[in-house]
Each structure stands twice: as C-alpha cells, then as structure tokens.
Amino acid sequence: MEYNYPYIKKYSMDWLLLNLVNNHLNNVLNRYSKLIGMRIDLSYRQSSNRYHEDNHHMLEREVRELFRRVESESGIAGYFWVIEYGQDSNFHAHTVVYLDGQKIRKPFPTAERIGEMWKEVTEGEGKYYRCECKESYKQDINKLIEHSNPDDIDGLRYIISYLAKEEQKYGTQIYGSSEVPPPSGLGRPRKQQGK
C-alpha cells in the first residue's frame, strides 16, 4: 500500500520503520473499528544507574517486560515502540499504544497505569511522559479514530511517524510491536471505501 506522507519534510525518515509502523496500524485498524492512540516516552531518571548504561540492552529488556505486562491490560489493541539515543537524554523509547475505542473512551487512566508499571519494571529508576495535544500541534492523538474516517487515520499516521525518524537512531533499528490478531468476524461487515 502506498502512503501519502505530507510530514516527511520535517524529519528524515527511516523508510523501513515508517512502513512497519504504518502496516502495524493497518493491522490494528483491520481488527478494531475504533481506536484511541497514546504516545508515551520512556526513559530513566538522570540520577539513576540505568541512565548511565552505555548500551541499549537494559532499556530494551525492560521495555519488552513492560509491554508483556501491558498486553494483559483490558482494552489494549496494540503497541509499537522504538529505541533512540540522544546526547542529553541517553537511551530512551518512543511508544504508541492503541486502545480499543469500543471499551475505553478516556486514555488517561490507562496511561497512568502504564507509567506505574514502567516504574515497577525499572525499580523506581524509570520515568515516562505522555505526549498530549498542544495548540501548536497539527493533530490530536487523544481523539477517537474510526476505521471509516481516512482524515483522522492520516492524522494518526502523522503522529506515529515520529517513531520512524532517522535522527537519534544512528543507523540501528531497535523496535518491537504487538501481534495483532485477525478480525474476529463479529459485528456488522465493513463497507468498502468508495462504495
């Protein structure tokens, strides 16, 4: 599938990651009729021992453990994460978590639970930041996205494209995502777009 990426002028994109992020979203949209996306950044407190690790292995292991736990949360439709390195932020992870919009209408409580799980996994050395919509942002990730609304889906694609920027990746691609089951076959059949 070809995508129109109007946002690529801002960042140099890792095209493999960009396609992986978008294909994952396609799978989630094929399974769930309504979604709410959350962007959550995960890192370590600067005063912690974990922050001063000189490789990504501990962060990767702990992010995987976090999402193993997140998968058991009610209403989780999927997730995708990438690890980056910044001079002033060391190793950190950018994540997107999709919530089943049929079950969850407010993302804040789930984001708080994920943040608390991150603190538990990191033995108190982790910190998190939930990216919320600001007036200067072009899109709002906190809104309910319906599978039949291409404009809202494109807005979500714009937001999650941040995970695929080349900057701070240093030629490496460290990422993970949920397995998305096929559509259940329950409910009303979807109308084909354009018909």
- Which residue, chain included where needed, has tokens 């390195």? 85
- In 3-state terms, what secondary structure has residue 40? strand
Q: Is a pLDDT exceeding 50 seen at residue 136?
A: no
Q: Is a pLDDT exceeding 50 seen at residue 195?
A: no
Top pLDDT among 13 and 102 is at 102
Q: Is a pLDDT exceeding 70 seen at residue 133?
A: no
Dump pLDDT digits (tens) for 28-87: 999 999 999 999 999 999 999 999 988 899 999 999 999 999 999 999 999 999 999 988
Supply the pLDDT for residue 119.
98
Supply the pLDDT for residue 48.
95
Q: What is the mean pLDDT of residues 92-113?
A: 95
Q: Is residue 83 within a helix (H) or strand (E), and if so which, with residue range? A: strand 76-86
Bin 171: left if φ > 0, else alpha if -120 < ψ < 50, else beta.
left
Dump pLDDT digits (tens) for 146-175: 999 999 999 899 889 999 998 887 778 899
State the average pLDDT for the chain. 87
Supply the pLDDT for residue 4.
53
Supply the pLDDT for residue 167.
83
Backbone angles phi, psi at 172, to 5 degrees: -110, 155
Provide the token pair at 8.
């690529």
Supply the pLDDT for residue 54.
84
Q: Is a pLDDT exceeding 60 seen at residue 99?
A: yes
- C-alpha 161/C-alpha 7 separation (Å) is 8
- C-alpha 120/C-alpha 131 separation (Å) is 21
DSSP secondary structure of 115-171 = HHHHHHHTTT-EEEEEE---TT-SS-TTSEEETT-HHHHHHHHHHHGGGGBSTTTTT
Nearest Cα residue to 125 out of 57, 55, 41, 46: 46
All structural domains of the chain? 15-177 (3.40.1310)
